[in-house]
Amino acid sequence: MLTMGGIGVLFTLLLISSITAIAVFIWFRLARFPFSLIRFSVALLVGAASCFPALFFQYLLAVRTGIFPMAGRWGPVAEIFIRIAFTEELSRFLLLSVMFFIIRRHNSLTMEGATGLIAGLGFAILESAVLGASSPHNSLLRAFTTAPLHGACGFRVGSSIETIRENPARGILRFLSAVVIHGVYNFMLRIPGTLPSIAAVFIALSAFVTAILAVRNGLLSLHHSQAQ
């Protein structure tokens, strides 16, 4: 049961992890990107909802099968890259695919990438609350970096869905790039010391900046084409 202090910490973590999503929403509005409020809200909710199948997959791998116990030489690597990073990106891929199937119109590589980025931010908001309650020792660092990390990975997952339709091999590689970025970030945070934490922050921010620039260029091009 959470104490008043615990509730305050949880609220603070949620607020910090929401800053990026709020900033992106304001940016979309000010730039007049062709990205509706409804699509933004749905993407945010889809991203948050993808936490639940990810937790289910992780439970199955850890409890039902015991394939990836934290033991042996490759146990930690499998735990980080497959049980955590892969299942979370797969869950995001599945729920975004359903969303794109339902709203077949207005889907494109640009829109799907931008939608994936927003979904990643929605995932980060909910994950920050879960991690803050279960692992408070590094919750503040994660609250500041998990949103850029999941936003960057969400962008790659979202754009991979459209890419797979045209070029399956390239789309799969784009999806796997999200898994690798996610896994390396988590791996760095598992290593004691300041330098690995700095490396994790650099990975998250650099990947996010790359995703933001790609979304910006794509939405600007889409906006100009629709204005003509």
- Tokens 């955590």 belong to 84
Closest CA to 57 of 85, 98, 18: 85
Do residues 115 and 160 touch, judged by C-beta distance below 8 A?
no
Give SS3 for 167. Answer: coil
Residue 100: per-residue pLDDT? 93
pLDDT in tens, 132-178: 555 555 556 666 788 999 999 999 999 999 899 889 999 999 999 99
pLDDT in tens, 66-109: 555 555 666 788 889 999 999 999 999 999 999 999 887 666 77
Residue 9: how many CB atoms within 10 A of its CB?
18
205 contacts: CB under 8 Å, gap ≥ 6: 145, 148
d(CA 214, CA 211): 5
Residue 177: per-residue pLDDT? 97
State which amino acid sits at residue 163. Answer: T
pLDDT in tens, 168-217: 999 999 999 999 999 999 999 888 888 998 999 999 999 999 999 999 99
Phi, psi (degrees; rounded to nearest 5) at 67:
-70, -35
Give SS3 for 21. Answer: helix
